[in-house]
Chain A
Amino acid sequence: MDNNKNSVIDQRVKEEYKYGFITEIESDTLAPGISEETIHFISKKKKEPSWLLEWRLKAYRKWLKMKEPDWQNVNYDKIDYQDISYYSAPKKKELKSLDELDPELLKTYNKLGIPLDEQKMMNGIAVDAVFDSVSVATTFREELKSHGVIFCSFSEAAIDYPEIVKKYLGSVIPYTDNYFACLNSAVFTDGSFVFIPKGVKCPMELSTYFRINEAKTGQFERTLIIAEENSSVSYLEGCTAPMRDENQLHAAVVELVALDNATIKYSTVQNWFPGNPKTGAGGIYNFVTKRGLCAGQNSRISWTQVETGSAVTWKYPSCILKGDDSVGEFYSVALTNNLQQADTGTKMIHIGKNTKSTIISKGISAGKGQQTYRGEVKIMKSADNARNFSQCDSILIGDRCGAHTFPYIDVRNQSATMEHEASTSKIGEDQLFYCNQRGIDTEDAVSMIVNGFCKEVFNELPMEFAMEATKLMEVSLEGSVG
């Protein structure tokens, strides 16, 4: 069996990161470095209103005084913030229709399997594509508009819907929140904006694809989703990047606001370039701040994430359960293979009465991957009858990987009930043997067991993406069988 296993490993090791190509496209890239001029430049380029520029500058001045955090359980080379370019955009501008998109760009998105071309649209998903720093195309906009749904790039929203943006920008994640969120607030270049008015159930899945292309650029996008009373929306983001030897920083901010009886479902399939599997060179630093505010009664925010890429991942999609009877959910599968590191988890802050939260986190660590689940469940004094259930399980594949669990449970209300459980183990030899015995080879057996392990989370993804996630898991597990 061992020989068999080894040949499988060899084969799989040779497979490479599928999305590692570079697109030859002319682009406008700002010289590296950050200063107030950089921010003025970005703001001017985006034709932003002056209040937004002011807000950016405030954030920048605050950022200068902040210190990069170091408490997370990951190691990475210090980032030189003056060596990053804060703005890069494909050169062609002012598009009237998708036909005018640079054919190279369209090719890129086709390679990534993103249906930008509305004609060929099969699965009826509205897509906003963000290339390096700017949103290049948003599909299905007209149809969505007929329902009253606004789905556009952040820069457009800042110009077209300034009142909404002004009201909600920074309301969940203030620019003072943390080092990377503060940097993002100063230099964010684009992102998606979604507004679902009262009583509207968004008729289709919304999704954004993020792609970093240029070398030495950082991607700082900002997503803002607002669901008004009695509305609902499901939103998905996907991320890829080319293979490069240097590390690139991705520091995004996502803010969700759900009012009374509104539901927001936010799913992420993150597959940034994880770095060279042998040397660990290159790869994306994925330092993201995501937070949802269940502001209204009976509101619901659900985070689903499949994290397979990035050299270093550091993110905690969180829910603030402020409205009574609101619900927060977090479903996560994180995989670290080779030299990847991830410190991820969630925060559930219970403030309203009868609030409920569920955390299901599945970690898979292979090769020399290091993975940490870090989660906080906080039940405030006002949260009568709050309920939390957390489960975080890890599988270890290989004897040089690590899986760590750091839950923080803080209960200040007697009527709260909270449960946390976690387990860590390796794939059982008996399970593998059982599969082998029934004619399933080791490779398939591992992927079957891992997929079974993640099923609870994949079930939460929109159908098309659940398939994608299952496939992604197989690819990312390459070379780990043993």
Chain B
Amino acid sequence: MNVNDYQNEFNKIISRKYFPSRLNNSRQKAFSKFLDIGLPTKKWEDWRHTDLSFLNKNNFRISEANDAFENIDFSKYKIKNTHTLVIINGHYVEHLSDAPKELRVLTNHEYLEQNDWRQKDKKDTPFDLLNTSLCDSGMSFIIDPDTDIDKPIHILFICSGSENLIISPQVNIDISRSSSATVIEQYASETSSFFQNNCVFASVKENASLNHLRIFSNANKTINISSSYIEQSENSNYKYFQFVDSGALQRSDIYNSLKGTNSNCFLSGLTILDDDQQSATYITTDHIMPNCTSSQNFKSVLNNKSSGVFNGRTIVREDSQKTNSKQSNKNLLLSDKATMNSNPQLEIYADDVKCAHGSTTGALDNEALFYMQSRGLDRESASSLLIRGFVIELMEEIENKDLRDYLFNKFDNWLIKNN
């Protein structure tokens, strides 16, 4: 897609009469900004290692009224003991969902209306601007104060029906003070090719906690670009885990601002790739207030021609004394064609802090393999034992047993194929 193609899609959406004019104003603004800066190239620092050629070569279009979805077999996406909210091609499908009664589910229009039509702040990257200008779907939910939701909320994003759609949903998750919830976002595809460009906003208020998990398992010819903005207030906890196992390009940009004292955020993720899949994770953890703790712990296992990028950035602002922050990125290359770019970055402007980062990249340890083979294991089981050992540390951090089993199952299937 080139800039003209985006212009055509934009013209289509702006001519749809059912959007309020206020929304169209902000769309116009965002799109003209997008035209100013253009699509990222490899010369942009944050896009140096992200290969957008698949997106640039293929054409995608926004959905029309006649793009209905087909019958979907939900059983394969089912995670036990969860409330499932189903979003198909970006649109929330109420009759397929079982939202818990404590959850106030709103459409994005309702949510914006409640908030005086103020768009949330974004970073103005080209894809965020495209999301603002092309967004026609998504959902929002609010958890009221002092509410604990026991069962995880499983948001299932499925692309189904027509091929080559551009899907630009926005999701707002508001966790009010002293509440807690577990939210699982799962991205899956029934169609073989689409371009999903979504924005997720989560706000975690005083004393609240959010356990956020994301599973990206899209088909091989799909592009999923996802930005998340997380804002934390005092004494809040945020825990994030992402699982990536497919996609022509999976790019996640995560911006986490610790805006209240004594808040914690723990981010982690596992990427397992094969063929010529590509995954890039860009994280910014911004310590704005003192006495906060953060960690980033990401691992990837790359096979064949796949490539991975980890770019973790931790900023410690001038007044955020007593910050404690860790970054770790470990990568295992299973093939000599796989590539990994790792940039753990620390930007520190306060002195009474403890910050550390570490990064390693390498192949399976030959001595360990030999040791196990000399004890009678065949090479395949030896290497699968090592790879499993490598990821198990991360996976065991997942508290919810049903989800952990679900992901282990996915991982084991991947391992059988790739070992």
Contacts and interface: CB of A to CB of B under 8 A. Distances in A.
Given A406-B345, A409-B342, A414 B334 contact: yes
A436 to B, nearest CB: 19
Interface string A210-243: 0000000000000000000000000000000000
Interface stretch (A147-155, A395-403, A437-445): A395-403
A424 interface: yes
Interface in B347-371: 347-363
Nearest to A415: B363
Contacts of B351: 396-399, 401, 426
B36 interface: no
A422 B347 contact: no
Contact of B344 (A398, A399, A420): A420
Contact of A71 (B45, B321, B342): B45
Contacts of B335: 414
A425 interface: yes
A408 B336 contact: no
Contacts of A415: 336, 363
Contacts of A422: 344, 346, 356-358
Contacts of B348: 394, 396, 402-404, 424
B343 interface: yes
B318 interface: yes
B346 A399 contact: no
B280 interface: no
B342 A399 contact: no
Contacts of A405: 344-346, 357
Given A421-B356, A423-B355, A411 B350 contact: no
A419 B360 contact: yes
B346 A424 contact: yes
Nearest to A422: B357
Nearest to A406: B345
Nearest to A395: B351
B341 A400 contact: no
A418 B346 contact: no
A29 interface: no
Given A426-B352, A426-B353, A399 B318 contact: yes
B339 interface: yes
Contacts of B353: 396, 424-426
B254 interface: no
A410 B339 contact: yes
B331 interface: yes
Contacts of B357: 405, 420-423
A447 interface: no
A394 B350 CA distance: 12
A258 interface: no
Nearest to A408: B343
A416 interface: yes
B189 to A, nearest CB: 30
Count class of interface residues, chain A: 20 to 34
Interface string A365-407: 0000000000000000100000000000010111111111111
A35 interface: no
A108 interface: no
A38 interface: no
Interface string B55-82: 0000000000000000000000000000
Contacts of B288: none
Contact of A409 (B333, B350, B359): B359
A398 B351 CA distance: 6
Interface string B176-201: 00000000000000000000000000
A413 interface: yes
A87 to B, nearest CB: 36
Nearest to B328: A421
Count class of interface residues, chain B: 35 or more
A406 B342 CA distance: 10
Contacts of A408: 341, 343
A405 B49 CA distance: 19
A417 interface: yes
B158 interface: no
A318 B353 CA distance: 31
A111 interface: no
A419 B339 contact: no
A412 interface: yes
A409 B341 contact: yes
Nearest to B309: A410
Contacts of A425: 353-355
A424 B347 CA distance: 10
Contacts of B354: 423-425
B170 to A, nearest CB: 32
Given A420-B358, A420-B360, A425-B354, A411 B345 contact: no
A178 B65 CA distance: 54
B340 interface: yes
Nearest to B302: A414
A420 B359 CA distance: 5
Interface string B299-322: 000000000000000000010010
Contact of B346 (A381, A404, A416, A417): A404
B403 interface: no
A145 B318 CA distance: 56
A418 B332 CA distance: 11
A189 to B, nearest CB: 33
B338 interface: yes
A426 to B, nearest CB: 4
Given A394-B348, A414-B333, A400 B318 contact: yes
B363 A414 contact: yes
Interface string B226-258: 000000000000000000000000000000000
Given A396-B351, A398-B351, A407-B343, A423 B356 contact: yes
Given A420-B360, A424-B353, 10 more contacts: A401-B351, A402-B347, A407-B344, A411-B341, A414-B334, A414-B335, A415-B336, A416-B362, A421-B358, A426-B351
14 contacts: A394-B348, A397-B351, A402-B347, A404-B348, A407-B343, A407-B345, A410-B49, A411-B331, A411-B340, A414-B336, A417-B363, A419-B358, A422-B357, A426-B353
Return the 6 tightest CB-CB contacts between A and B, nearest first. A396-B351, A423-B356, A414-B336, A414-B333, A417-B362, A409-B342
